Amino acid sequence: MSVRHALLALLSEGPKYGLQLREEFEARTGEVWPLNVGQVYTTLQRLERDGLVEALGEAGADDEGGPQKAYRITVAGSEELTHWLRVPPDLTSPPRDELVMKVLVSVRVPGTDVHEVIQVHRRYLVQLMQEWTRLKEEEADADLAFALVVDAELFRLDSVVRWLDAAEGRLRRAEADGWPPPRKLPVSMPVLQRRRRIGAS
């Protein structure tokens, strides 16, 4: 989550104070990602250092009686924002996904039923989805930003459930074909050999 660019986006509408930025950030993201005011000021200072925003001078006091500054976006800031919106996030290399690891590992741990492991995770994910769906049912109509965030989360969790379904189907087909074959070599041998080959090249 780029707080930096979210603040630039809010400032693209006009000059704003730090506290105001925090409130608007939380409102625009459906209040799913809370932000403390310290984070806002630290980020503003860095943006100012990089020439992407500029302070408009002191004008009033915040809740704790500290000075409050208003900020406005610079031309360089607007350019940076326009650029950032169109740069795809880096999705080229697969993330080291903990759930994928657990399923891969459970296939190799003697005495472990991989289907049972898959079901534990599937149930957990569906329960989470039930909670998000409840939230959507109760609140999403009132708040577009919130509905967008909830949809994103539901599709993300759904994709994980689908992967578990596909993994289970693949394992069942492999089992029907006689997998796993009886093994005599230590389990880790093929992995080690492959890594050595990759390292040697």
Partner 1 sequence: MSVLELRSISKVYGRGAAEVQALRDVSMTVEAGSMVAVMGPSGSGKSSLLTIAGTLEEPTSGAVLVSGQDVARMSGGAKARLRRRTVGYVFQDFNLLPGLTAAENVSLPLELDGMSARRAHLAGLAALEDLGLADHAWRFPDQLSGGERQRVAIARAVVGERKLLLADEPSGALDSANGEAVMRLIHAYCKQGTAAVVVTHDAQLASWADRVVFLRDGRVVDQTVPPAGPESLLEQPS
In this structure, what token pair is assigned to residue 186?
A: 């230590």
Question: Which of 127-147 are b and which e, b meaning 16 or more Cβ less than 10 Å from the residue's Cβ?
Answer: eebeebeebbeeebeeeeebb
Q: Please, what is the minimum distance in Å from the beta carbon of residue 31 to partner 1?
A: 7
Footprint on residues 1-40 left by partner 1 (CB under 8 A): 31-32, 34
Nearer to partner 1, 8 or 135 (CB): 135
Nearer to partner 1, 166 or 192 (CB): 166
**Integer Cα distance of 177 and 87 in angstroms:** 45
Tokens coding 47: 């943006």
Q: What is the largest CA-CA distance in the chain?
A: 76
Of 82 and 127, which CB lies nearer to partner 1 in the complex structure? 127
| DSSP secondary structure code for residue 140 in this structure | G
Site residues (CB under 8 A) for partner 1, limited to 128-167: 128-135, 137-138, 154-155, 157-158, 161-162, 165
Which residues of this chain interact with partner 1, rule CB under 8 A?
31-32, 34, 115, 119, 122-123, 125-135, 137-138, 154-155, 157-158, 161-162, 165, 168-169
